[in-house]
C-alpha cells in the first residue's frame, strides 16, 4: 500500500508518496499560497495529490493514508492546527478540510519536527531504536522525540519544545520571551550574532575580511568555515558553540538515556568538525559512562514528508 505525506512550509508545500518501507516513490513541491485563506492551500494539496496519483496510475482512494506535517502546534485530538505562524494558520480544521476532498482515506496531522523524528525512526538514523531524540539546528531549534518506539507528542498533547528547555538561567533573551533557552544559545542564529559582533571588535580578522566588512554577509557557514581554516576568533566562537550544544545534549542524555541523538539542520552539515568535539564534550559532562550515540540526521529535507506519510503507522 502507498501512503501520501505533505510537509507544509511558509514558502513551499512538499508532497511525497512513500511505499510500505517508507521509501519515497514520488516527490513534488509547489509554492505555498501565502496570504490566502487556508481553503486555498487545502485545494492546492488536493489537486497536487490527484496529479501525483495519476502519475503513478493509482486512484487517491487506494492510498492507505494521507499525513500532513505543519510548522506549528496541533490540538490534542490531532484535528486542528492551533497556531502555525509561518502559514498564518490559526485554529484551522485542516484534517476535516482535506478529508472533504478524499472522504475514504484517513488523514493524519502532526507537527513537522515530530514528523521528522518519526521519519528517522522508519527510514533514517533511528531505525531499530526505542528511545531517540532529533534536534535540528537552524535559525531556530526543532526537535522531536521517539519514546517506546513511537513518536511522543507530550503528556497533555502540547508537543515537545526541546529548544525552549533552559540552558542558562538568566541567559540571553529567547524568541519565546524567556531567557537562556537552548534556542538562544545553540542555533545558527547564535553563530551569526557572534560572528557579526566579532566583525566590529576585530575588523582585521578572517570573518570580517571574508564578509567584506559587511554585517549581512556573515552567516553561520562563514563562521564555521573560518573556524575550519584555523582562525582564532572564529575557532573561539565555534568552541563556545560546541560547549553550549554539548551541555544541551548532555541534559537530553541525562533525562532520557536515549540510544541516539541525531542532529539535523544547517549547522549539522559542519560534519565531523562539529560531531567529533561535541562527542568529547558530552562524554566529559554526561552522568552515564556509556551514553548513546550522537549522529547526523539522515533524511534532510525529505524528513517532513516521509514522517507525515508514516503517521498512520504511529
Ligand atoms: Zn525559548
Q: What is the mean pLDDT of each run of 10 residues along the chain (314 residues)?
A: 95 96 96 96 97 96 96 89 91 97 96 94 97 94 94 87 95 94 96 96 96 96 97 98 98 98 96 98 96 96 95 92
Q: How far is the CA of 162 from the centre of ligand 1 (A)?
A: 9
Please state, in angstroms and rounded to a whole number, the distance separating the CA atoms of residues 282 and 280.
Answer: 6
Q: How far is the CA of 183 from the centre of ligand 1 (A)?
A: 6
Q: How far is the CA of 176 from the centre of ligand 1 (A)?
A: 4
Which residues make Cβ contacts (< 8 Å) with residue 284, sequence separation at least 6?
none
The predicted model scores a pTM of 0.92
The pLDDT, as a whole number, for residue 169 is 97
Segment 231-288, tens digit of pLDDT: 999 999 999 999 999 999 999 999 999 999 999 999 999 999 999 999 999 999 999 9
Q: How far is the CA of 311 from the centre of ligand 1 (A)?
A: 27
Q: How far is the CA of 180 from the centre of ligand 1 (A)?
A: 7
Q: How far is the CA of 102 from the centre of ligand 1 (A)?
A: 38
Q: How far is the CA of 64 from the centre of ligand 1 (A)?
A: 38
Which residues make Cβ contacts (< 8 Å) with residue 210, sequence separation at least 6?
217, 222, 225, 226
The pLDDT, as a whole number, for residue 314 is 86
With beta carbons less than 8 A apart as the criterion, state whether 125 and 260 touch: yes
With beta carbons less than 8 A apart as the criterion, state whether 165 and 248 touch: yes
Please state, in angstroms and rounded to a whole number, the distance separating the CA atoms of residues 69 and 67.
Answer: 7
Q: How far is the CA of 63 from the centre of ligand 1 (A)?
A: 39
Q: How far is the CA of 175 from the centre of ligand 1 (A)?
A: 6
The pLDDT, as a whole number, for residue 158 is 81
The pLDDT, as a whole number, for residue 77 is 86
For ligand 1, a single-atom ion, the residues with CB < 5 A are 164, 174, 176, 178, 181, 183
The pLDDT, as a whole number, for residue 267 is 96
With beta carbons less than 8 A apart as the criterion, state whether 182 and 248 touch: yes
Question: Structural domains in the chain?
Answer: 3-121+302-313 (3.30.420.40), 127-297 (3.30.420.40)
Q: How far is the CA of 210 from the centre of ligand 1 (A)?
A: 31
Please state, in angstroms and rounded to a whole number, the distance separating the CA atoms of residues 79 and 96.
Answer: 7
Secondary structure in 3-state letters for the chain: CCEEEEEECCCEEEEEEECCCCCEEEEEEEECCCCCCHHHHHHHHHHHHHHHHHHCCCCHHHCCEEEEEECCEECCCCCCEEEEHHHCEEEECHHHHHHCCCCCCCEEEEEHHHHHHHHHHHHCCCCCCCCEEEEEECCCEEEEEEECCEEECCCCCCCCCHHHCECCCCCCECCCCCECEHHHHCCHHHHHHHHHHHHHHCCCCHHHHHCCCCHHHCCHHHHHHHHHCCCHHHHHHHHHHHHHHHHHHHHHHHHHCCCEEEEECHHHHHCHHHHHHHHHHHHHHCCCCCCCEEEECCCHHHHHHHHHHCHHHC
Q: How far is the CA of 184 from the centre of ligand 1 (A)?
A: 7
The pLDDT, as a whole number, for residue 156 is 84
The pLDDT, as a whole number, for residue 220 is 96
Phi/psi for 247 (5° steps) reads -65, -40
Q: How far is the CA of 65 from the centre of ligand 1 (A)?
A: 34
Instruction: Give me the sign of the Cα torsion angle 34, 39, 41, 43.
Output: negative
Residue 97: which of 113, 114, 109, 84 has the closest Cα? 109
Q: How far is the CA of 142 from the centre of ligand 1 (A)?
A: 12
Q: How far is the CA of 245 from the centre of ligand 1 (A)?
A: 15
The pLDDT, as a whole number, for residue 287 is 97
- The residue length of the chain stands at 314
The pLDDT, as a whole number, for residue 65 is 97
The pLDDT, as a whole number, for residue 100 is 97
Q: How far is the CA of 170 from the centre of ligand 1 (A)?
A: 12
Q: How far is the CA of 166 from the centre of ligand 1 (A)?
A: 7
Q: How far is the CA of 114 from the centre of ligand 1 (A)?
A: 18
Burial of residue 103 (number of CB atoms within 10 Å: 0-12, 13-18, 19+)? exposed
Q: How far is the CA of 313 from the centre of ligand 1 (A)?
A: 31
The pLDDT, as a whole number, for residue 79 is 92
Q: How far is the CA of 121 from the centre of ligand 1 (A)?
A: 26
Amino acid at each position: 500500500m502507498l501512503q501520501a505525506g505533505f510537509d507544509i512550509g511558509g514558502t513551499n508545500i512538499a508532497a511525497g508518496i512513500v511505499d510500505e518501507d517508507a521509501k519515497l516513490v514520488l516527490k513534488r513541491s509547489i509554492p505555498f499560497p501565502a496570504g490566502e485563506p487556508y481553503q486555498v492551500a487545502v485545494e492546492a494539496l488536493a489537486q497536487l495529490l490527484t496529479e501525483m496519483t495519476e502519475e503513478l496510475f493509482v486512484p487517491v482512494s487506494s492510498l492507505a493514508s494521507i499525513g500532513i506535517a505543519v510548522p506549528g502546534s496541533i490540538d490534542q485530538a490531532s484535528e486542528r492546527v492551533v497556531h502555525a505562524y509561518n502559514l498564518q494558520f490559526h485554529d484551522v480544521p485542516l484534517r476535516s478540510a482535506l478529508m472533504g476532498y478524499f472522504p475514504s482515506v484517513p488523514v493524519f496531522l502532526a507537527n513537522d519536527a515530530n514528523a521528522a523524528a518519526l521519519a528517522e525512526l522508519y527510514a533514517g538514523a533511528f531505525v531499530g531504536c526505542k528511545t531517540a531524540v532529533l534536534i535540528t539546528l537552524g535559525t531556530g531549534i526543532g526537535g522531536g522525540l521517539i519514546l517506546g518506539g513511537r513518536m511522543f507528542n507530550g503528556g497533555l498533547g502540547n508537543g515537545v519544545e526541546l529548544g525552549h528547555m533552559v540552558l542558562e538561567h538568566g541567559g540571553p533573551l529567547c524568541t519565546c520571551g524567556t531567557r537562556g533557552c537552548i534556542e538562544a544559545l545553540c542555533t545558527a542564529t547564535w553563530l551569526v550574532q557572534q560572528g557579526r559582533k566579532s566583525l566590529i571588535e576585530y575588523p582585521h580578522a578572517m570573518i570580517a575580511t571574508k564578509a567584506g566588512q559587511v554585517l549581512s554577509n556573515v552567516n553561520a557557514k562563514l563562521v564555521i568555515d573560518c573556524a575550519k581554516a584555523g582562525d582564532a576568533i572564529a575557532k573561539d566562537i565555534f568552541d563556545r558553540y560546541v560547549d553550549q550544544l554539548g551541555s544541551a545534549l548532555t541534559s537530553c542524555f541525562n533525562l532520557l538515556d536515549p540510544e541516539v541523538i541525531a542532529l539535523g539542520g544547517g549547522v549539522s552539515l559542519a560534519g565531523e568538525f562539529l560531531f567529533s568535539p561535541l562527542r568529547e564534550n558530552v562524554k566529559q559532562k554526561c552522568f552515564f559512562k556509556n551514553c548513546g550515540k550522537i549522529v547526523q540526521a539522515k533524511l534532510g529535507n525529505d524528513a517532513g514528508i516521509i514522517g507525515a506519510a508514516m503517521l498512520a503507522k504511529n
